[in-house]
Amino acid sequence: MKDLLKLKTSLSEEMENILNAQIKVEAHSSSLYLAMSAWCDDQGLDNAAHFFAKQSDEERQHMLKIFNYISNRGGRAISPEITNIPTDFESFRGVFEQTLQQEMFVTEQFNNIADKCTKIKDYVTFNFLQWFLEEQVEEEYVARRILELFDVIGEEGTGKWEIDRHLVKVTYDGE
């Protein structure tokens, strides 16, 4: 029966597993950013709290995009189990350093998946991935520009609150 059902999809089992693993990465990002939102809120950094709540929502949308892609190709998407999400963070700057690190990791994952697509000639999935590859340029850009605020303003005195005030102005227009 399983083999018969498999005939319904041209998505290989290997690619299905890889994409399900990426669902988990996106869900992890979503939970991590929500934890960062709570921490920033606790520190009185309202804009950063809002920023991370929005990021968390976006990551859930990324997760669902992959989830739906697997389902639409006739595969079996797996709702991920997420564990080990921290509740505490060392510093305001550290939160954004971890964000950049996470996004660079995600970029690497999508590059690896794209690489795999070309190796197994899955150009349908390769095409699907293009949106994510472009999105990663924005995600890394925003995290880097916010980290620059820490270099320019500094966290001493009222610095943290100045950074929190300015970070909402960081946007990516693709130019």
Instruction: Name the residue number minimizing CB distance to ligand FEO.
Output: 62
- d(CA 84, CA 24) in angstroms, rounded, equals 13
* Dist. CA 118–CA 73, nearest whole Å: 18
| 121 φ, ψ (degrees, to nearest 5) | 60, 40
Q: Determine if 103 is a binding residue for ligand FEO (CB under 6 A).
A: yes
Nearest to 80 by CA among 62, 102, 94, 53: 62
Number of residues that bind ligand FEO (CB under 6 A): 7
Pick between residue 10 and residue 61 the one whose CB is nearest to ligand FEO.
61
Cα–Cα distance between 10 and 66 in angstroms, integer? 16
Q: With respect to ligand FEO, which residue has the nearer C-beta, 106 or 117? A: 106
Positions in 3-62 near ligand FEO (CB under 6 A): 26, 29, 59, 62
Nearer to ligand FEO, 20 or 29 (CB): 29
User: Which residues of the shown chain bind ligand FEO in the complex (CB under 6 A)?
Assistant: 26, 29, 59, 62, 103, 106, 139
